[in-house]
Amino acid sequence: MQGSPGSDGVRCVTQYGVSAGMPGELPSDADLPVLSLESTALKAEAGGQAQTTLTLRNPGHLVESFRLDVVGLDDGWWQVHPPELALYPGEDATAVVVLTPPAAARAPERPLPFGVRAISTLDPSRGVVEEGDLEIGRVFDLQSSISPVTSRARWSARHTITFANWGNSPVRLKLTATDKDGRLGFQLNPDAVVVPVGGRATARLRVRPSDPFLRGTPVHLPFQVRGEQPGAAPAGPRSVAQRAGVPDPTQPVVDGAVLHGPILSRGVVFALIAVVAALAAALALLFRAGDVKGARNADTAPPAPTAISVTPVSGTLVRVAWSGNDRALGYKIRTIEPGGAVVKSDDVKGDVQVFDAKVEAPETEICYEVFAVRGGYVSPASERKCTTTLDERLKPPTDVDAVPAADGKYRVSWTGSEKNTHAVLLDGAPASPNPEVPQNIFSSLIDVPAGDHCVTVIARRGDAASPPSEEKCVEGTGPAATPSAGNGGPGPTTGNGTGNGGTPSAGATTPSPGNLTGVVAVVGGPLQKQDGIAGPRAARLQGLGIPAEVVPASNVPNFPGGPFLPDTVLVVVRGFADEATAQQQVCARLPADDPALTCTVIRTGA
């Protein structure tokens, strides 16, 4: 039995109606309650409170009770007083809705939608919702700094501007640099930044004085860098705080200066005099030495290269590497048959110390000698090294694909056997930075220079290899590479003897879209993007031959410690068939000099 107070005492109510209605008769859709809010646009500060009054009317012919709640917001954010209303037919009543966002709540850029709901206790399928919006007050607490505050320059100077956001909402800033006298030129990179909550953002500023002068006293040239929020309302009359010099937290301003010095300072003048005097003395000694027999020595050939290594890459590709010397201006690679007959000779210019040689057929025995070249002088031959190319009895990988990543790189993936290792080739030569891919891993991040290039993958196991897979051609946007002589491939650009281009940069990875599936190894635990840790850590693992990448934490289901903030990322290695393989290929290979390199192996799903 349910009752509601009235002027004539307590009325008795049955489960479905009152004495004035038909027993057992349910309300119809036409008798839905009518709900209205006194205000549908509410605003509250984080840790504060906003409230509105709801009015609920029962247009039906039955006495009903309605439960009141709020949808669209977390349970701890709202209260309704009272939480339930009992209404006679044609009667209305009111309740108070109180919204209390917690002190740690972040302020989104748009108001949060919510709904106030009334549900019948007689028939839970009958209810009504009135919608509203809650705007959380944005707390602006930006700290800005510039380093150095005052720079010295004859032609140009560089500064770094840093913004730290201690408010409760991300801030977008459009940056402009100005000087009152118009004597400076500015270049900002980038000229717009987003400062996340609790994070930092930086911009590089290059300042160039417009009026260089040869001699004189250094001039102090001040300037300002101002950050403004795009789309902000135009400024009104200056407030008392602004007139008193208190900075506006929504528009940070930093002051810097350039101490513009003369092109020819006193030290430079003395240095030029000393250089001229030294040149004059050297010329005098040179002319005098020309009359002395044996005073001038002719150039000589550089020493022969050492540490020759010859490694078969596939059935038709051999990598030759060596250690050169600083007197060599180039190298010559001689290809020799086992019987001693010279097949051909290839030239390598500069200080490149690796060469990818093409061979006509698999299982071919071939030898190589390397010569150092300086102008018209050639060193003696290096030690002769021989090898036999691999056979091609393995099946080539299939489903080769290459998708763009960051900084001109591409993520190459394929389908192959778990028993094989693999090598990624770009235009027929081992790709940089790490062509070798261990067992149970079927993807690799490679550098692709600007222009059109084609990617292939070969499988390897012991002394066996596969023919190259079908080509996947892409258009690279990275920096142009120095081609390796004789093979048409991208070749190395550094003389490290490995041909892999050295250690990849910190930006070698990029967050991958979509949820990861299968077995993955997570290295280092959760990291924040703005900390600058995830990228360098993934790059270091890639330098060890571990194909790590940076992905959003939300894309790695089942990882302990969640849920994570939207900007949380993880360093992940994927592509394993089981947990034991991931443990062996990743966790067991982590360097011991970094105790923060923890390793967690999880199965993320199907």
Cβ contacts of 295 within 8 Å, gap of 6 or more: 289
Give me the pLDDT at residue 508, please: 39
Radius of gyration, alpha carbons of the chain: 37
Cβ contacts of 594 within 8 Å, gap of 6 or more: none
- Tokens of residue 80, six digits: 């309704």
Bridge partners of 367? 336, 386
Enumerate residue ranges in the chain where pLDDT < 50.
1-24, 235-236, 294-295, 482-510, 530
Quote the CA–CA distance of 536 and 348 in Å, as a whole number: 33
What is the distance of C-alpha 549 from the center of its chain? 9
Quote the CA–CA distance of 279 and 565 in Å, as a whole number: 65
Per-residue model confidence as pLDDT tens digits over 68-101: 999 988 888 898 999 999 888 889 999 999 998 8
Give me the pLDDT at residue 30, please: 63
User: For the whole model, what pTM was predicted?
Assistant: 0.36
Give me the pLDDT at residue 256, please: 93
Please name the amino acid found at residue 203.
A
| CB neighbour class for 302 (10 Å; exposed up to 12, middle 13-18, buried from 19) | buried
- Tokens of residue 74, six digits: 């977390």
